[in-house]
Amino acid sequence: MPELNQVSWQQLDASHHLHPFTDSRALQQKGARVIERGEGVYLWDSQGQRILDGMAGLWCVNLGYGRQELIEAAHQQLQQLPYYNLFFQTTHPPAARLAATLAGILPGNMQHVFFTGSGSECNDTVVRMVRHFWAQQGQPKRQVIISRKNAYHGSTLAGASLGGMKPMHAQGGLPLPDMVHIDQPYYFAEGQGMTPHEFGLERAGQLEQKILELGPERIAAFIGEPIQGAGGVIIPPASYWPEIQRICKKYDILLVVDEVICGFGRTGHWFASEYYGLEPDLLCMAKGITSGYIPLGAVAVGERVAHTLIAGGEFFHGYTYSGHPVACAVAQANIEVMQQEHIIERVHDDIGPYLQQRWASLASHPLVGETRGLGLVAALELVADKATQARYSESAGAGMICREHSLEMGLVMRAVGDTMIISPPLVITHQQVDELIDKARQTLDLTLSTLNNRQGK
Ligand code: PMP
């Protein structure tokens, strides 16, 4: 097919393509933005507009676009062995090598990994793995997995059920049985009347209440994102995770951390579990493992679970693309580049603090109720009244207005309700951070004047 112009791509797309998480009618009327090229932290659309990708794709293009090392690794592996499976007592060098490399960077005593094709598949794997584990331990009644409201763990049946997104549950009769949700540690929205410390303990304490309510003998695991990503970059108070860890240990409940967003340097550590001092039994990763160049996920398995799994006969679970050789080769190259270029140290000591300091300066804007962040992930809350921190009504659509203005300015920021979030590539430079902040500030100005105009102010 010859190269088409923008309108033709839009028409073709509208005629035949159903998009993920999209109101198709609305998109057909508007026409999709056509992204044609990426280089470093920038994208170019079909109108030739250059856009700073403040979200690294979907939180994944950690090394930025166009890295030759990753492209070359895929190319070489495609020539050597484009596919083979890992079933039937077989392995291949890219999978074996990557598993060992991951064991070298994982927190605590995690020495084994199970490969998947995505974050959602990781969480489906988790559900089957923890239940199989408890059955092997002679406690088959331990079926219940406790998660949080407004968590995101993917779109498959298990992922969406573990997640706590109400609109997702409403479509298709979810959650599945034995997946229950406690309140999230979202201080800005739900912490009124408490200090952050008290609030963190209160929210973690709900885990203990739920365990006692359902009976500890029925609880298999607790799952959480160290920092909730899709829910709005929700960074729990410092008191939260230690208390969750304590409760899990007290009742002998497996702790599963979903590091699909937080992993691979986002917080200035290989994994946010290090930042929070967590000792998870299972850890999910995807996205940044290949900088998003090719799909891959993995569940890291701590020694206790791994030991039982290894001794427990055949585990009837796996995917055609578990440990796909090309994906593993790209992940290996991705990790090696991160090590050679000291990306983790850079996020921890240099570009992370710089972004956070600059992002915090947006707090003075009349539209901003709070800024927060860690490493290279950050959020700000849009408010109608800075003094009371009251939000705009939902019908005002402040977040969506802000997102549209941001794109006009040539910056991708994402809106979660009225929370604006960023998660730029880890290779972003100081100058590009300055550009991001300038564009974000101008976006806020435009958003405020649009909101005022609409309200007749
Ligand atoms: N877990 C978390 C924490 C995520 O952020 C996501 C994706 N945003 C997923 C799981 C699902 O990953 P995928 O889209 O690769 O299935």
- Indicate whether 408 and 448 sit together in one domain: yes
Predicted pLDDT of residue 401: 98
Q: Among 282, 308, 340, give the residue marking a domain's end.
A: 340
* Domain residue limits at 294: 69-340
- Indicate whether 137 and 60 sit together in one domain: no
User: Which residue ranges of the chain lie beneath pLDDT 50?
Assistant: none
Best residue for ligand 1 mutational test, from 21, 152, 225 (most atoms within 8 Å of Cβ) = 152
- Indicate whether 163 and 193 sit together in one domain: yes
Query: For residue 12, is it within any domain?
Result: no
Predicted pLDDT of residue 456: 76
Best residue for ligand 1 mutational test, from 19, 168, 261 (most atoms within 8 Å of Cβ) = 261
Three-class secondary structure assignment of the chain: CCCCCHHHHHHHHHHHCCCCCCCHHHHHHHCCCCEEEEEECEEEECCCCEEECCCHHHHCCCCCECCHHHHHHHHHHHHHCCCCCCCCCCCCHHHHHHHHHHHHHCCCCEEEEEEECCHHHHHHHHHHHHHHHHHHCCCCCCCEEEEECCCCCCCCHHHHHHCCCHHHHHCCCCCCCCEEEECCCCHHHHCCCCCHHHHHHHHHHHHHHHHHHHCHHHEEEEEECCCECCCCCECCCCCHHHHHHHHHHHCCCEEEEECCCCCCCCCCCCCHHHHHCCCCCEEEECHHHCCCCCCCEEEEEEHHHHHHHHHCCCCCCCCCCCCCHHHHHHHHHHHHHHHHCCHHHHHHHHHHHHHHHHHHHHHHCCCEEEEEEECCEEEEEECCECCCCECCCHHHCHHHHHHHHHHHCCECCEEECCEEEECCCCCCCHHHHHHHHHHHHHHHHHHHHHHHHHCCC
Say yes or no: CB of residue 229 within 6 Å of ligand 1: yes
- Indicate whether 330 and 357 sit together in one domain: no
The residue whose CA has the least distance to atom 1 of ligand 1 is 153
| CA 124 to ligand 1 centroid distance, Å | 11
Q: Among 340, 372, 402, give the residue marking a domain's end.
A: 340
- Indicate whether 231 and 378 sit together in one domain: no
Give the position, in ligand 1's atom list, of the atom nearest the Cα of 225.
3
| CA 188 to ligand 1 centroid distance, Å | 24
Predicted pLDDT of residue 6: 76
CATH of the domain at 168: 3.40.640.10
| CA 163 to ligand 1 centroid distance, Å | 10
- Indicate whether 44 and 75 sit together in one domain: no
- Indicate whether 192 and 58 sit together in one domain: no
Say yes or no: CB of residue 266 within 6 Å of ligand 1: no
**In total, how many domains does the chain have?**
2
- Indicate whether 334 and 358 sit together in one domain: no
Give the position, in ligand 1's atom list, of the atom nearest the Cα of 154.
11
Q: Among 315, 340, 365, give the residue marking a domain's end.
A: 340
Predicted pLDDT of residue 109: 84
Predicted pLDDT of residue 251: 98
The question of ipTM being above 0.90 is answered as yes
Predicted pLDDT of residue 5: 82
- Indicate whether 304 and 393 sit together in one domain: no
Residue 397, token pair as written in the block? 């659509």
- Indicate whether 366 and 302 sit together in one domain: no
Say yes or no: CB of residue 153 within 6 Å of ligand 1: yes
CATH of the domain at 375: 3.90.1150.10
Predicted pLDDT of residue 1: 55
Predicted pLDDT of residue 2: 58
- Indicate whether 254 and 351 sit together in one domain: no
Say yes or no: CB of residue 152 within 6 Å of ligand 1: yes
Query: For residue 59, is it within any domain?
Result: yes
